[in-house]
Copies of this chain bind each other. A is one copy, B any other.
Amino acid sequence: MSIIPEIRGPRDPFLLRRGVADIIVEHELIERLESGEQLRLKQGFDPTRPDLTLGHAVGLRKLRQFQALGHRVILIVGDWTAQIGDPSGRSEGRTMLTAEEVHANAQTYLEQFFRVVDRELTDVVFQSEWFGRFGLADVLQLTARFTVAQMLEREDFAQRMERHNPIGVVELLYPLLQAYDSVAIRADVEFGGTDQRFNILTGRELQRMVGQRPQQAFLVKILVGLDGHQKMSKSLGNYIALTTPPYDMYGKIMSLPDAAMADYFECLTNVPDAELAEMLGAIARGEVNPMLVKKRLAREIVSVFYDEAAAATAEEEWTRVFQRREPPTEEPVCAIPSSVERMPAVDLLVHCKLAASKSDARRVIQQGGFSVNGLRVSDPKAEIELREGTRLQVGALRRCRITRS
C-alpha cells in the first residue's frame, strides 16, 4: 500500500476533507489548485523536538497528497524560532538551544520527514537565510505592524494573561517571525494543526500588508495520543514515533482505546470513507468485535508507513503472543553469569538491553511497564532473582529470557 491513496484532482474529497479541520479560505485554495500553477506549500518545523510522531504524520501525509498533484513543499527549519520555542501552553523558563543542537536536530528530523514526504518535490530552507541578517530595523518594522492586543487574542496567550502566568515579550515575537517566514518564501499554503491557526493567519495578514498574495491556511486535525484524550505528544509520553518498528507500531495501536479508532482511521489510513462508515456502524450496532476492527486499523497503519508484508508479519506475531498467548517468535535471550544471583531491577533492564539507560529503566518500571514471569515489578530497586528461563517483559514489545552462563 502507498503512503497515500491516489489523489484524483484538486477537488478530491480525500484531499480536502480527510483529517482536515479547516481551510481558510477554501474557495480561494480550490481556485489556486485549479489554476494549474505549482503551489508553494509551507511547512515549518521547530528543531527543538526532532522526533516525529504519527501525530505529525497527519499533516505530512497531506503534504504528500498535494505533492501528488505536482505542488512543491518548502520545509522551513525554524532554527531561529526554535531559539524562542513556540510558547504554546508552556510555562516560562525554557532555555534556548545552541545552533549546533538545532542543526543536529534538523538532520534527525529530515530523515523522518522524508519517510512520508517526497524529497524530490521538497526544498529545505533554514530561517537563518533571512533571519541571520535581520537587523533591529527589520524587527521594528515587523513589530510595528501588529498590536499587543492582537497578539494577546491568541488563545494560549489570553489564558496565560488571565491566569497571571508570565508571557515573555520574546514570545510575542514568535508568531511574527513565523509570519515573516511566509513572506520570505512567498508561501501559497501553510500547513499546521488547528493550534497553528493564529500563527498561520498572522502570516496571511503580513503577506497582505507587504503586498504579497495572502497564503491559505490548511489546518489538519490534531491526533489524540495513546491515552485517547490528550494530543499525541512527546512530552506527554502518549505517542507512537514515526520510526517505531512495524511490530511495535502494531502493538501500540492495539493498545488504543476503542473510541480513538475513528480518528486514527480518518487521519492515518487510506481506507475509503464509505468502508470506514460501514465498519464503525457495525461496531456501534454490536455486529462486530471492536478488536477485529482495531486489528484492521493497526494493519492499515503499518501498511501505510511500511508495507503490507510488514503489516501482515506484525499482525501474525501479535496474534500469536497476545491472542493465542504463545511465546513470541525468536525470543531473545540474555546471558547472566551464574555467580550473580540477584540484580536490582534497574540494572537488569540495562544489562539485558531492555532499557536504553538507567533513567529510562527507572521510568518504565515506575510506570508499571515491567514484569517478571508475568508479575509486575514496580520498584526500580527491587532485587530480581535470576534463574534460568526467567522471563522479563518491558511494555508489550520488549522481552527476553534469562540464561545463566
**Chain A interface (Cβ within 8 Å of chain B)?**
80, 83-84, 92, 96, 131-140, 143-149, 151-152, 161, 164, 166-173, 176
Contact = CB atoms under 8 A, between A and B. Distances in A.
Given A135-B134, A136-B80, A137-B83, A169 B143 contact: yes
B149 A161 contact: yes
Contact of A169 (B96, B146, B166): B146
A147 B165 CA distance: 10
A143 B170 contact: yes
Considering residues A84, A96, A148, A176, which has the most beta carbons from chain B within 10 angstroms of its beta carbon?
A: A148
A92 B92 CA distance: 30
Given A96-B144, A144-B96, A172-B172, A167 B139 contact: no
A149 B164 contact: yes
Considering residues A131, A136, A168, which has the most beta carbons from chain B within 10 angstroms of its beta carbon?
A: A136
16 contacts: A80-B140, A84-B144, A96-B144, A132-B136, A134-B135, A134-B136, A135-B135, A135-B136, A143-B169, A146-B168, A148-B152, A148-B167, A149-B164, A149-B166, A151-B169, A169-B172
Contacts of A134: 135-136
Contact of A83 (B140, B149, B171, B172): B140
B172 A140 contact: no
Contact of A147 (B135, B137, B140, B167): B167
A168 B148 contact: yes
Contacts of A172: 143, 148, 169, 172
A173 B131 contact: no
A117 to B, nearest CB: 28
Nearest to A174: B140
Contacts of A144: 84, 96, 168-170
Given A148-B166, A148-B171, 20 more contacts: A83-B137, A84-B144, A96-B140, A96-B144, A133-B135, A135-B135, A139-B173, A140-B170, A140-B173, A144-B170, A146-B169, A147-B167, A147-B169, A148-B161, A148-B167, A148-B168, A148-B172, A149-B161, A169-B172, A172-B172
B135 A173 contact: no
A83 B143 CA distance: 12
A152 B172 CA distance: 13
A332 B139 CA distance: 54
A143 B131 contact: no
